[in-house]
Amino acid sequence: MIDMARFKPKTVYVIYIAATPEKIWAALTTPEFTTAYFLGAAIEIEPKEGGAFVMRKPDGTIDVSGEVVEWSPPRRLAVTWGVRWLPQMRDVPDCLVSYDIEQAGDSVRLTMTEAHQWDVPDALLSGGRAGWPAILSSLKSLLETGKPLAIKMQPPREMLDALAALKR
Amino acid sequence: MDAVFKALADASRRELLDRLRAENGQTLGELCERLAKTGIGMSRQAVSKHLAILEEANLVATVKRGREKLHYLNPVPIHEIAERWIGKFERGRLQALVDMKKALEQSDE
């Protein structure tokens, strides 16, 4: 059992999407959608608490992996999130990523929260802070217009520097 | 989008966004305390009103944690504005210009 109280929210992003909660849930949890807006990564997720969760890169390697902490369609999904593709991230504690989906008038509010269980330096958060707004905007565009946005992403320099400093 | 521009058209509200960018997840009390420490006089009531306008414009997201309400900078609407007017081919060149400006201004200090 994962102690949620240990995790403190560090990054919270909110986006309004003209779609149904069910459609947004499907976009978050099925590979047909995630490959379109999440930098090409395909989600594999066991639909239950304690289930395995993986984001797989187009070349088949693991991008992110973790465990399902909450599976409440179509309202709330929470997973532990460990970045595996960057070797420098191997010793960094997993964070908790949760999505909350709420009806807000004619559209739906999607809130992404990245919470950490240690005093993570800001520079390490810069990767997520660069990536999430683009990923969420792309998800919105995909659901509203049928077309995702083009995203080209590299880990920010400051994040790589901070990871190198952590090793020492 | 009107709400975003209206919210940004105020120096005090931009200051609050800067403070959250520097330290995300502050309570109203922490924001007021730190503003006062750096000599910026803004009443608790004014800060609270500005935060409500920023939240309404979706530039600030809040999380309830126990009895505290934490405030987070939400840059998603600004990202959407950038997507609308900045093409993907311009992005690299603009970043190069911003990097150059930063480097030149830092070397002056």
Which residues in chain A have Cβ-Cβ distances shorter than 8 Å to B70? Answer: 9
Q: What is the mean pLDDT of residues A95-111?
A: 96
- HSE-CB at A22 with a 13 A cutoff on CA atoms is 0
Q: Are residues B67 and B88 in the same domain?
A: no
First to last CA, chain B: 37
Q: Judge whether A37 and A142 are in contact, CB under 8 Å.
A: yes
Structural domain boundaries enclosing B42: 2-74
Structure tokens at A65: 């992996």
Is the domain of B9 the same as that of B61? yes
CATH at residue B61: 1.10.10.10
* B70 and B22 in a common domain: yes
Residues B67 and B19 in one domain: yes
| Count of structural domains, chain B | 2
Q: Both B10 and B38 in a single domain?
A: yes
Do B30 and B11 share a structural domain? yes
**Cis? peptide before A74, omega within 30° of 0:** yes
- Asked whether the beta carbons of residue B88 and residue A14 sit closer than 8 angstroms, the reply is no
How far apart (Å, rounded) are the C-alpha atoms in residues A148 and A131? Answer: 14
**Same-domain pairing of B48 and B22:** yes
Residues B41 and B84 occupy one common structural domain: no
Q: Is the pLDDT of residue A162 over 60?
A: yes
Q: Which residue of chain A has the CA closest to B87?
A: A150
Residue of B nearest to A9 (CA): B25
CB contacts, 8 Å: A102 with chain B: none
Q: Residue A167 above 90 pLDDT?
A: no
Choose the closest CB to A12 out of B74, B79, B80. Answer: B74
* CB neighbourhood size of B85 (10 A): 7
Q: B20-74, pLDDT tens digit by residue?
A: 999 999 999 999 999 999 988 899 999 999 999 999 999 999 999 889 999 999 9
What tens digit of pLDDT does each residue of B69-88 get? 999 999 999 988 888 888 76
Fold of A10-167: Alpha-D-Glucose-1,6-Bisphosphate; Chain A, domain 4 (3.30.530)
Q: What are phi and psi of A35, to 5 degrees?
A: -65, -25
Do B68 and B25 share a domain, yes or no? yes
Q: What is the ipTM of this complex?
A: 0.81
- Asked if B89 and B53 sit in the same domain, the reply is no
Residues B64 and B43 both lie in one domain: yes
Query: Domain limits of chain A?
Result: 10-167
Residue with tokens 């490959």: A35
Contacts of A12 in chain B (CB under 8 A): 24-25, 61-63, 72, 74
